[in-house]
Amino acid sequence: MLSDLEKIRIKKLKKLQKEKINPYPAKVWRTHTCQAVKDNFENLEKENQEVIICGRLKAIRSHGKSAFANLADESGEIQIYFKEDLLGKNNYKIFSQLIDLGDFIEARGKLMKTKTGEKTVVLNNFRIISKSLLPLPEKWHGLEDVEIRFRKRYLDLIANKEVKEIFNKRSQIIKTIRDFFVEENFIEVETPTLQTISGGANAKPFITHHDALGINLYLSIAPELYLKRLIIGGFEKVFEIAKCFRNEGIDWSHNPEFIQVEFYQAYADYHDLMKLTEKFFTYLFEKLRIPRKIKFRNEEIDFTPPYPRKKFIEAIKEATGLDLEKIKTKERIFEEAKELGLEVKKNWSWAKIVDEIFKEKVRSKIKDPIFITNHPVELSPLAKKTPDDSRYVERFQLLAGGLEICNGYSELNDPLDQEKRFKEQLKLRKAGEEEAQMYDQDFIEAMKYGMPPTAGEGIGIDRLVMILTGAKNIREVILFPTLKPKNKE
């Protein structure tokens, strides 16, 4: 049903059309943005130059036969002045009776400063270029309702200038990430979003169906296995800024749809990538002109490299007192996790329970950046084993602010070992572990043609943007985050 306010605006729309005015023209004649007028005001005023600006009408202050208003475009806003004897009675009548806050207009005029020094465009003509049929929220100038902000991001962007600044920064961050890898001689590539086999990470995929082929397809949980195929094919440095989808819960640091930069370098190992990661963060902070010490979730984080390194089992032992080298059965680790107060399930594997202990008791407590290294092999089915102890792999995670920002490792390039690990993952899937990886026969075949020693890494861009902008929730840095439906019916 239409609200009373919407009905009133529709009546105004029809009156405009009756006056032979097109309220939604295709062409506008803008000569300047609002900010450009303000920046060049003195010269434009001195030359008595006419300007044409376009934007959304904000606060209107009427004074009988004249009115001041604010006109806003993406660059900023400027004051405009409507005066009956300059516009003519009919045009002023259209403004005063048929134009509303929120409407977009094209405004034409010359410049003056008011007695208070306010830079103003004095209109000699205007026309409506988009009639708004719904009024902006009553408190549009400070919209705070989180539910409205995330569900109706367009209102959030109109109401809160700082929100638009976050997404401008996000764009700059992504550009800077791309620039870094290009300067490091990586080639940017694209891999499939729709995949016949889901792989590259331990996560539950989203499933869809392709009618023409009559097959199920999976939304990519990671581009890893395709990027490795490119290394096998002869590329030595590849990267992708990839959309990924994981059928998991939603909280302050997780959204089912997210982006990450994933990259692979031939003839490198995980030590090389840890050095490259420190170089990456140095580059990022310098190019974005951000101080190395930043505030995130009420704590100061110092991103000045080098970052300390600590082995996975040592971090677990320090945080919980558990010695993973002595706790090798699923039953025992399940009991230990319960004693730590964690919600774990009996059908979870040893590796999944250990990972949960790590997330809750180690990762969540980390403030400054640290590399956690050498994870148990059960946690890393795609990583190369350490040469001195086959129970662990050459893997690292960069943690900061309670988040995993980066995950990388020396890639497993032994096809027979990889095949064995895929089969172990397959057993876990059959036992009900939906996040275990699928068996990818084509990837095994590709590896059998030979894959050079390679290291790969993924960096979560949404979480990185959270930290660099000081956002407290991942939904603040994703334009259209996944939300629970208001009414499931």
Q: pLDDT tens digit string along 211-227? A: 999 999 999 999 999 99
Whether residue 124 lies inside any domain: the answer is yes
The tens digit of pLDDT for each residue in 245-266 reads 999 999 999 999 999 999 999 9
Estimate the crossing angle of helix 350-361 against helix 312-320, to 10 degrees. Answer: 60
pLDDT at 204: 95
Mean pLDDT of the chain: 95
d(CA 4, CA 335): 62
Identify whether residues 115 and 223 lie together within a single domain: no
Identify whether residues 127 and 180 lie together within a single domain: no
Whether residue 424 lies inside any domain: the answer is yes
d(CA 440, CA 431): 18
Identify whether residues 96 and 236 lie together within a single domain: no
The tens digit of pLDDT for each residue in 150-203 reads 999 999 999 888 999 999 999 999 999 999 999 999 999 999 999 999 999 999
Residue recorded with tokens 């764009």: 171
Write out the DSSP string of 162-211.
HHHHHHHHHHHHHHHHHHHHHHTTPEE----SEESS--SSSSPPPEEEET
Q: Are strands 370-373 and 309-311 parallel, antiparallel or unpaired?
A: parallel
We report the CATH number of the domain holding residue 73 as 2.40.50.140
Of 135, 165, 188, the position where a domain reaches its end is 135
pLDDT at 142: 57
Residue at 299: amino acid letter: E
Write out the DSSP string of 316-333.
HHHHH---TTT--SHHHH
Residue at 53: amino acid letter: I
d(CA 384, CA 380): 9
The tens digit of pLDDT for each residue in 412-465 reads 999 999 999 999 999 999 988 899 999 999 999 999 999 999 999 999 999 999
Whether residue 11 lies inside any domain: the answer is yes
Whether residue 321 lies inside any domain: the answer is no
Identify whether residues 128 and 168 lie together within a single domain: no
The tens digit of pLDDT for each residue in 364-378 reads 999 999 999 999 999
Whether residue 151 lies inside any domain: the answer is no
Of 135, 164, 179, the position where a domain reaches its end is 135
% of residues, the chain, pLDDT over 90: 90
Identify whether residues 409 and 271 lie together within a single domain: yes
Whether residue 251 lies inside any domain: the answer is yes
Identify whether residues 216 and 118 lie together within a single domain: no
Q: What is the pTM of this model?
A: 0.92
The tens digit of pLDDT for each residue in 273-331 reads 999 999 999 999 999 999 999 999 999 999 999 999 999 999 999 999 999 999 989 99
Identify whether residues 203 and 107 lie together within a single domain: no
**Count: domains in the chain:** 2
Whether residue 233 lies inside any domain: the answer is yes
pLDDT at 414: 96
Domain range for 119 is 4-135
pLDDT at 328: 86
Task: Check whether 341 has a pLDDT greater than 60.
Answer: yes
- The two structure tokens encoding residue 365: 């407590």
pLDDT at 387: 95
Identify whether residues 122 and 164 lie together within a single domain: no
Identify whether residues 108 and 196 lie together within a single domain: no
Residue at 304: amino acid letter: T
We report the CATH number of the domain holding residue 214 as 3.30.930.10
Identify whether residues 180 and 111 lie together within a single domain: no
Identify whether residues 67 and 209 lie together within a single domain: no
Identify whether residues 108 and 171 lie together within a single domain: no
pLDDT at 238: 98
Question: Residue 254's beta-bridge partner residues?
Answer: 251
d(CA 282, CA 183): 14
Question: Residue 309's beta-bridge partner residues?
Answer: 371
Q: Would you give the DSSP letter of residue 270?
A: H
Residues in the chain: 489
Whether residue 179 lies inside any domain: the answer is yes
d(CA 317, CA 323): 6
Where does the pLDDT of residue 139 fall: very low under 50, low under 70, confident under 90, or very high at 90 and above?
low
Beta strands in 176-316 (DSSP E): 187-188, 194-195, 207-210, 215-219, 237-245, 257-266, 293-296, 299-302, 309-311
d(CA 168, CA 378): 41
